[in-house]
Structure 1
Amino acid sequence: MSIRKRTSKKAKNGYVYEVYFPYKINGIIERYSKSGFKTKKEAQEHEVLMLAEVKESGKIKKTVNKTFDDVYSEFIEIGASEYQPNTITLMKRNYKAHVKEKLGNIPITTIDYALLQKYFNSRNEYGISVNKNVKSVINNVLNYAIKLSYINNNPMSLVKISGVDKAKDKEQILLDSEMNIIINKLEQTNDFTYQAYATAIQIGRYTGLRISEVFALDKKDFDFENDTIDINKKLVYQELKKEQLYHINKMKSKKSKAIIPLANILKNTLIEWFKKNPYDKVICDIDGHYLHPNYFTTDMKKVCDPLNIYFHFHMLRHTFATTLATNNVDIKTTQELMRHSNFNTTMNIYTHINDNVKKKALNDVFNIKSGEKVAKTQKEFSKLS
């Protein structure tokens, strides 16, 4: 029987009806029950609705009285274990700064497309990269809510975001001449830390490694005999003080952990640096401790602003990829060197560069050659007149 008659001291007639039935989710038996119906007819009507929900969605939506903030806290505690420590720290920072006040107290079951789109429409004055990070946080929490059956779908896939593109007018690649100017400036200081910065830039320049990977390198990761670099760890630094820095072996993706070739030009640079640096860590201070990537960013701004050069470390990765693509290195090799887990990521680099090449070719033809031809034609026409 799926309808039960149960005694109840609160009911006037001394009993209520309960709906009770088993159902399967992915082969696992679950049991649904809800009591408190005054009549058998009410219980039967509710049973019909619940059985229809099971038939339609394969499960019964739980009654959830949780706010977005409640679910976010659960996600950080339970569901975020698959993410890197630096990523979790960034999610916490973005949630506290941008999401908690506006969405935190809203019931998770009432968050829909209209609410989220209105929220992001109000954020047009923020940087597009910030809004992308905020969208990612919300998306992760809602996906977690689906796993817990708090909600049935995630409306974030429908939401469009915008914002100020602060990097729009800034090149994301560096010229060789610009990198040489920066490196020379750092080395001229004769400061151990700044010379370590110069070495880090050279490593990024010739490998395309991410800053967390470069700053975690040990000398033993370099094999000068076989000319290889073993990429096996990354530095955890977000929201940490310098003395709290540590490395982990869990990388961004399976492809991130790899042995890559060591270019001769970088090998020669490192040989000279290792003569000056007596420590196991490659990028370190004068006492052999890890250098903080955030301090590096601040110091580099002080160095580069007077030189009128826009610089951030990830530009080295962009520059490395662009150099490979523009020098006709095949896509598969570039993917391996960049350690992209997704082929499309590498393909996008080539598509972007090819588009620029096409634009340049078109402009060269019509702005220069056609212009000269038009001028010549006009001159000849004038003579005829």
Structure 2
Amino acid sequence: MTGYVRKRGKKWCYCFDIGDINGKRKRIERIGGNTKRECEISLRNALNEYDTGYIEPNKTSINDYLSDWLENHIKVNRKINTYNRYQSILKNNILPIIGTINIKDLKPIHIDNMLSIAKKNNLSNTTLQHIYAVLNSALNKAVKLRLLNNNPCEYIERPKRDNFNPNVLSVDEFYNLLKLLNIEKYNDYIFSIALHMVLELGLRRGELSGIEWCNINFDESTISIKNNLIYSHGKTYLTTPKTNDSERVLYISKDLCKLLKEHKKIQLLNKLKYGSHYIKNFYNDQQFDFIMTWEKGNNLHPMYFSNKFSKLMKASSIDKKVRFHDLRHTNATLLLSQGVDFKTIQIRLGHSDINTTLNIYSHVNLEMQKKAVNKLTTLFNGDKLATNIKNTY
């Protein structure tokens, strides 16, 4: 493929023929620069783009491209809650601002202005990062599809997340919450089991909801985390855990084993009590034998844990804003305070990247460093060493 340059007015243009498209000859002509030399360089770059597979978008809007990307890439390859979250971000934060722009005309300034508008609407830095991440992912795909030569997001500084210091419960505060439950009532009884499991295992609420009896090995004292019951956009779905590393096998204590064995007996008695009226749980046309069920057998909704815990906190004298999910953080914080290493905690929490664990619990990490320095000081008899130095000078 060859082309030529020519001067048109004060500018230089390049032109080349790309052959037949839909039965018609197609020729590309663009402004290439202010000088012949600049235009020749632009021509070479343009020819190289077409030779390596670059396809001109030809009036494809951001709205059309992102809608297609969401339906034919994200919906097919990602979990339903991810699809719903991306859909919400596109609808509320991206498409209203840049949706009408042709994808070939999208510039870094458009993205920068979009993020500035979101910031003026008092959205958090974490939300700004989510907006950036969704658009960046979509445009990276456009580059791979050769709809774009490069990703304009590369020229925009990625928004930084807000610092996150999770609120956690002390052991005494946890037991104070348990005392507020009347385990003679089934709804309090089943919730007390949920609290014990999350505090010991650091489970997400969806993982807790999705555990089946076949996932427990009482001989080995382990629980396999293989399911995730999620609630998104008014519907409940049973899917796999958040990431590949979230599928994990956790060792459980003898006390928790004993608690679960007793619960299994109670659940079996309930099955006998209700007989044919005992509710069976089906997801994806498959029956599941969940641990977390109501007395009549229907599984506990993942939102129940959050709502019940919120009411329990309000009924307590604990002056903290602690969510049900923060019991997961409480689990990790308590393990760290007892000297458990970050790698073990990463595995138990199901984080795919240890940096996630390190970043979330950086405040605890600092306390651990202080203890380490104090131990090192004691080891080297630091006070005596400092005295010797002072006497020397």
- TM-score normalised by L of structure 2: 0.70
Local SS of the residue matching 2:17: strand
Change (3 A) 1:284 1:112: farther
Q: CA deviation at 1:129?
A: 3.3
User: 1:346-357 residue pairs with structure 2 within 5 A?
Assistant: 346-348=357-359, 351-357=362-368
Alignment correspondent of 1:257: 247
How many pairs were matched up? 324
Choose which of 170, 173, 180 in structure 2 pairs with 1:178. Answer: 173
Amino acid at match of 1:285: W
Are positions 1:281 and 2:282 aligned together? no
| Identity score, percent | 25
User: 1:11-160 residue pairs with structure 2 within 5 A?
Assistant: 19-20=17-18, 34-35=26-27, 51-55=44-48, 58-80=52-74, 81-124=76-119, 125-157=122-154, 158-160=156-158
Choose which of 307, 313, 319 in structure 2 pairs with 1:298. Answer: 307
- TM-score normalised by L of structure 1: 0.72
What is the CA–CA distance in structure 1 between the aligned matches of 2:27 and 2:46, rounded to whole Å? 18
Equivalent residues of 1:123, 1:131 under 8 A apart: yes
Equivalent residues of 1:193, 1:284 under 8 A apart: no
RMSD: 3.5
Change (3 A) 1:35 1:21: closer
Equivalent residues of 2:230, 2:302 under 8 A apart: no
Amino acid at match of 1:220: C
Are positions 1:330 and 2:341 aligned together? yes
Equivalent residues of 2:183, 2:192 under 8 A apart: no
Equivalent residues of 2:229, 2:238 under 8 A apart: yes
Alignment correspondent of 2:234: 240
User: 1:309-324 residue pairs with structure 2 within 5 A?
Assistant: 309-324=320-335
Equivalent residues of 2:111, 2:153 under 8 A apart: yes
Q: CA deviation at 1:121?
A: 2.3
What is the CA–CA distance in structure 1 between the aligned matches of 2:128 and 2:173, rounded to whole Å? 31
What is the CA–CA distance in structure 1 between the aligned matches of 2:265 and 2:189, rounded to whole Å? 12
Cα displacement string for residues 323-361 of structure 1 (whole angstroms, at most 9, x for unaligned residues): 222222233333332233223334445654232455799
Are positions 1:213 and 2:207 aligned together? yes
Which piece of structure 1 moves more, 252-261 or 265-274? 265-274
Cα displacement string for residues 184-216 of structure 1 (whole angstroms, at most 9, x for unaligned residues): 32x317443343333222222111122211111
Cα displacement string for residues 211-235 of structure 1 (whole angstroms, at most 9, x for unaligned residues): 2111111122111121010111111
What is the CA–CA distance in structure 2 between the aligned matches of 1:357 and 1:330, rounded to whole Å? 10
Are positions 1:269 and 2:259 aligned together? yes
Equivalent residues of 2:228, 2:238 under 8 A apart: yes
Alignment correspondent of 2:277: none
Equivalent residues of 1:117, 1:160 under 8 A apart: no
Change (3 A) 1:255 1:303: same
Q: CA deviation at 1:268?
A: 2.8
